[in-house]
Structure 1
Amino acid sequence: MNQFRKVIRNWEDWEATAGEISAFSGVVEKIFHNEGLPAADIRELPPSTNAVFRVGDYVIKIYAPRQAQMEPEEEQRIERFAMWRAGEAGVPVSEIAAWGCLKDQYDFYYLISRYMEGQPFGEVVRRMGTAEKRRMGARLRDLTDRMNTPCAPFRQVDVLTDPDRQVRWQGYQENFRGDRKNYLEGRCFGEQVFVHGDLNGGNVLVDKEGGIWFLDFAEAVPASALYEQMYVAVELFQMDAALLEGYFPGYSREALAELITDGLLMHDFGGDLVRRYFGGPDGLYTVKDLAGRVRGRLEAGGYSGEIFGRS
């Protein structure tokens, strides 16, 4: 007898269902029984592309099935590899407890990892002073530098040209989209490395000893290190000057603005980030216009570009 009773015909059906404990409780219980893991109350976690729940000392991620126009087996493989790769590089990541596929009404591929106790990065840094933020920024740079190194092929994607990675730029001026395309085609962004791709405030955890953990590697891709560094600056740090000064020691305002602009133009979430932090499409006709907005945001936030001690 199937445990899952909802109907998934497309992405919209999945999106409407993915966060419902009632829809997945039977599926989760059966998976934990099959894996020999202890039963526990199922709790909600922040919304995600996939169905993600806390179950006692574990987190289970159930990948969107093929009926939602996804490739769950491949997504599971990529995330398993990415977590292993980051751990091998010396980055603290959660331990994988189990993975597999439950054949129910749909084929539900899943990944179970240890639940990490801690606070989201954004909540922790709000209580920090300037010097402490700079030290935290430097610690984050050390971790991403360890991780952002050349890697064996693990995902067939071109972050600059794949059509499905241009979607978030729809709605921008045609002039801007054309200039972005020409700019990306005419620049060299250095060697491709392994990047996490989604180091936002919910995916970076600080434990009670002050240790930093990276979560949720679903967006890991091969890309320029700028892809990661921009996202840390904009989405994780929210352009906070002290955090930026720790992470980018000695970068002039002009150099950091160029790095952030380049990263925005290449990142899968770049179009959304420009809307959220840099004024959106209105009045944006060229890459130069975007670079000006980034410089203005750095200046308004008090970023100095000076080198500060890390002790």
Structure 2
Amino acid sequence: MDYFQNQINEWSDWQAVQNTPTAFEPLLHQIYLSENEPFKTPEIVTDDFAAVFNIGPTQIAIFPPANVAPNTRDRYQTERFSLTRMTRLQLTAPQLLHAGFIFDSYQFYYVIYRPLMGTPVAEFVETAEPLAKSTLGRQIGAVLAQLDGEVASFNQVDARALSDQANWQQLGANFAADRDAYLAGHPATPNCFVHGDLTGDNLVVTPGQVGLQHFQLAMQAPRQAELVPLVLQAFAWDADLLQGFRETYGVSDLASELLMGLLWRADGPAYIQHLMANQYPVTLAQVAARLQTILPVE
């Protein structure tokens, strides 16, 4: 018997059904039965990639089938590895309960976990006092100083290859060559664990320690790559957050570290365009100067 009855031939088919609890409910019920977990009516949780549902006190992410998402197994393994790593390091993250796959009309990978209970950083900082923000910055710095260490390979993502394939020419005719020269002259440790998507929604203020969630885009990369979404999006250059972060993350020249992170990321050109207010052309020296203006050495 196939518990999932919808046809998925292309990515748009998956998008059309991933937020439909009734389409997944028989499949979800069977998964929870096999894992000996109590089942309740599923509630939608919005996600860009997986079909995610709250079921009682737990949350389940079902990954799209491989015929429309060739990297689905890789993303499943990355989430599983990352949650296990967070537990081993005694850092705050969703508690992984089960992970596996079910053979149905398609092979679906899934993870079941207890989600974080708290306030996303994006919401917290809207009303937080300066002291609360600097304290939060210190907590985030301490967590990342522990998390972003060297690890063995855990997925198929080649961060440098992806960044080399990005369209650096859109920033100016000489930018790609200048980037290559800069990276050649400034070697970085390429095999650190990097969450990769530390936006204000993926950092959660909990009653204890700040927590991290949504690890599907984690990769091996220089730890500087972690700083880009963190500083530009989650912190949005907030001085109090940055002050606390500097104290525990162990970096004095944050501007240079951030420049390295920008040049190592596949989405670096887009971040730089936003940073430079869509100036064209832009030089690497201008980007470095802009960062030094915003983040002077302390």
AA of the residue aligned to 1:202: D
Residues 280-295 of structure 1: pairs in structure 2 closer than 5 A: 280=278, 282-295=279-292
Deviation, 1:183, is 3.0
**Residue 201 of structure 1: SS of its match in structure 2?**
coil
Partner of 2:271: 273
Q: Deviations over 1:115-157 (max 9, x none)?
A: 2221111111222122221111111110111111122222243
Supply the distance in 2 between the matched residues of 1:275 and 1:43 (Cα, whole angstroms). 38
Deviation, 1:105, is 1.7
Partner of 1:223: 221
Partner of 1:180: 179
Supply the distance in 2 between the matched residues of 1:26 and 1:277 (Cα, whole angstroms). 47
Partner of 1:95: 95
**Residue 216 of structure 2: SS of its match in structure 1?**
coil
Supply the distance in 1 between the matched residues of 2:9 and 2:170 (Cα, whole angstroms). 27
Supply the distance in 2 between the matched residues of 1:81 and 1:196 (Cα, whole angstroms). 12
Partner of 1:235: 233
Deviation, 1:14, is 2.7
Supply the distance in 2 between the matched residues of 1:284 and 1:12 (Cα, whole angstroms). 36
Supply the distance in 1 between the matched residues of 2:13 and 2:180 (Cα, whole angstroms). 34
Alignment equivalent of 2:261, drawn from 248, 260, 263: 263
- 1:278–1:58: structure 2 CA closer, same or farther, 3 Å change rule? farther
Partner of 1:13: 13
AA of the residue aligned to 2:95: E
AA of the residue aligned to 1:150: E
Supply the distance in 2 between the matched residues of 1:7 and 1:33 (Cα, whole angstroms). 24
Partner of 2:125: 125
Deviation, 1:158, is 2.7
CA contact (8 A) 1:7 1:13 kept: yes
CA contact (8 A) 2:228 2:258 kept: yes
AA of the residue aligned to 1:155: N
**Residue 65 of structure 1: SS of its match in structure 2?**
coil
Greater mean alpha carbon deviation, residues 45-54 or residues 166-175: 166-175
- 1:23–1:157: structure 2 CA closer, same or farther, 3 Å change rule? same
AA of the residue aligned to 2:99: W
Partner of 1:309: none
Deviation, 1:106, is 1.1
Supply the distance in 1 between the matched residues of 2:46 and 2:275 (Cα, whole angstroms). 22
Greater mean alpha carbon deviation, residues 92-101 or residues 186-195: 186-195
AA of the residue aligned to 1:189: A
Supply the distance in 1 between the matched residues of 2:223 and 2:106 (Cα, whole angstroms). 37
Q: Deviations over 1:132-190 (max 9, x none)?
A: 21111111110111111122222243312237x74475854443344334433443123
CA contact (8 A) 1:4 1:24 kept: yes
Residues 116-195 of structure 1: pairs in structure 2 closer than 5 A: 116-162=116-162, 166-167=165-166, 171-190=170-189, 192-195=191-194
Residues 58-73 of structure 1: pairs in structure 2 closer than 5 A: 58-73=58-73
Supply the distance in 2 between the matched residues of 1:5 and 1:173 (Cα, whole angstroms). 50
* Matched residues, number: 296
**Residue 68 of structure 1: SS of its match in structure 2?**
coil
Supply the distance in 1 between the matched residues of 2:274 and 2:22 (Cα, whole angstroms). 33
Q: Deviations over 1:226-277 (max 9, x none)?
A: 111333212221111111111124966xx32222222112124333433445
CA contact (8 A) 1:65 1:71 kept: no
**Residue 232 of structure 1: SS of its match in structure 2?**
helix
CA contact (8 A) 1:102 1:109 kept: yes
CA contact (8 A) 2:4 2:24 kept: yes
**Residue 102 of structure 2: SS of its match in structure 1?**
strand
Greater mean alpha carbon deviation, residues 195-204 or residues 107-116: 195-204
CA contact (8 A) 2:136 2:210 kept: no
RMSD: 2.6
Supply the distance in 1 between the matched residues of 2:80 and 2:53 (Cα, whole angstroms). 18
Supply the distance in 1 between the matched residues of 2:44 and 2:268 (Cα, whole angstroms). 28
Supply the distance in 1 between the matched residues of 2:54 and 2:132 (Cα, whole angstroms). 31
CA contact (8 A) 1:59 1:113 kept: yes
Residues 14-53 of structure 1: pairs in structure 2 closer than 5 A: 14-53=14-53
Supply the distance in 1 between the matched residues of 2:138 and 2:117 (Cα, whole angstroms). 23
Greater mean alpha carbon deviation, residues 111-120 or residues 7-16: 7-16
Deviation, 1:77, is 2.1
AA of the residue aligned to 1:19: N
CA contact (8 A) 1:251 1:305 kept: no
Partner of 1:107: 107
Q: With structure 1 as the length reference, what TM-score do the two structures score?
A: 0.84
